[in-house]
Every structure is written in C-alpha cells, then in structure tokens.
Amino acid sequence: MPTTEKATIMSACVPGLGQIYNKKWWKLPIIYAGFGGLGYAFWVNNRYVKEYGGALRFRYDNNPATVDTLSRYSDDNLVTLKNYYQRFRDLSVIGMAALYTLQVVDACVDAHLATFDVSDDLSMNISPAIYKTPQGMVTSVGLRFYYR
C-alpha cells in the first residue's frame, strides 16, 4: 500500500517517480510528452527571441562592420516579433511549472485514494425523518449513506 508522503516526495524529486511508485505506469508517457512538448516550445520561442533581440542590438551598436540580416523588418516589427515570441516562451515555462505541480499533486492524491473502498457494499437510503427542536417537531427528507 503506497504512502502519500513517499509518493509525493518521490514525484517532487523526479517527475513521474511517484506515479511509478503508485503503479500507474500509463501516466508516464503523458507526463514526459507534456514536458517534451513544452520544452520544445520553449526552445523554439527562445531561439526567435534571441534572433530578433540580437537583430535589434546589431542595429544600434554603431559598428559599421555589423551585417543586418533582417533588414526586411522595421524596428517596430522586430520589437513586436521579439515580444510575441518572448510571451510564448514565458508561457511554456509557466506550463512546465504547472505540469510539474500537477504531477506531484496527482501522485499524492493517487496514493491517498489507494485504500478507498469501491466495493459493491456501498448503498444509499432516502427516507423521511422527524426531528424534535425547541420550536417543535420538524419534518425533513434525509439521505443516509452506508459503507463498510
């Protein structure tokens, strides 16, 4: 029976290790595909941020030997493009942090619910009830859950 603390710590140290500990192997490809996709998005967007930011720096470095390879773009276009790719680069970092947190929480909750009873002995009974209160008798409908 997995313990909640151990699964949480394992998943916090190495993403996916808590899922392995909980014997939920099928979640590993989802976790690592998410990290791979977000990592690739970070890499591509960061490459464009460096390219357009470098082009802006080269335009204003006052060095006549600098060759402007992106002369087809105006200064405003370069700033807009750099900000566009920078936004999506930052969103991919936020996505990786959210995915990391989500997989830690998933391992913790999965370990916590490992002992949850899902047998057929669960039942529910709806019945009327009468309660005595200081104001008098009160009628109501009650739900009663039976579990063993």
Are residues 126 and 142 in contact, defined by beta-carbon separation less than 8 angstroms?
yes
Confidence category of residue 120, pLDDT binned at 50, 70, 90: low
144, part of any domain: no
Q: Give the Cα separation of 30 and 50 in Å (integer).
A: 30
Per-residue pLDDT, 145: 65
What is the per-residue pLDDT for 59? 87
Decide if 126 is inside a domain.
Answer: no
End-to-end CA distance of the chain, in Å? 19
Tokens of 32: 């690592």
Q: What domain range is 113 assigned to? A: 4-117
Rounded (10°) CA dihedral 26, 29, 30, 32: 140
Identify the bridge partners of residue 130 per DSSP, sorted by sequence position: 139
Inside any domain, residue 138: no
> 3-class SS at 3?
coil
Confirm whether 23 is domain-assigned: yes
Q: Is residue 147 part of a domain?
A: no
Provide the pLDDT for residue 92. Answer: 98
Does the residue 134 lie in any domain?
Answer: no
Residue 10, CB-side half-sphere exposure with 13 Å CA sphere: 18
Residue 127 lies in a domain: no
Give the number of domains in the chain. 1
Q: What are phi and psi of 62, to 5 degrees?
A: 55, 30
Beta-carbon contacts of residue 52 (< 8 Å; ≥ 6 apart): 70, 78, 81, 82, 85
Whole-number mean pLDDT of the chain? Answer: 89
Indicate whether 17 belongs to any domain: yes
Statement: residue 148 has pLDDT above 60: no
DSSP β-bridge partners for residue 5: none
Query: HSE (CB half, 13 Å, CA atoms) of 120?
Result: 0
Question: Region 62-71: what's the mean pLDDT?
Answer: 82
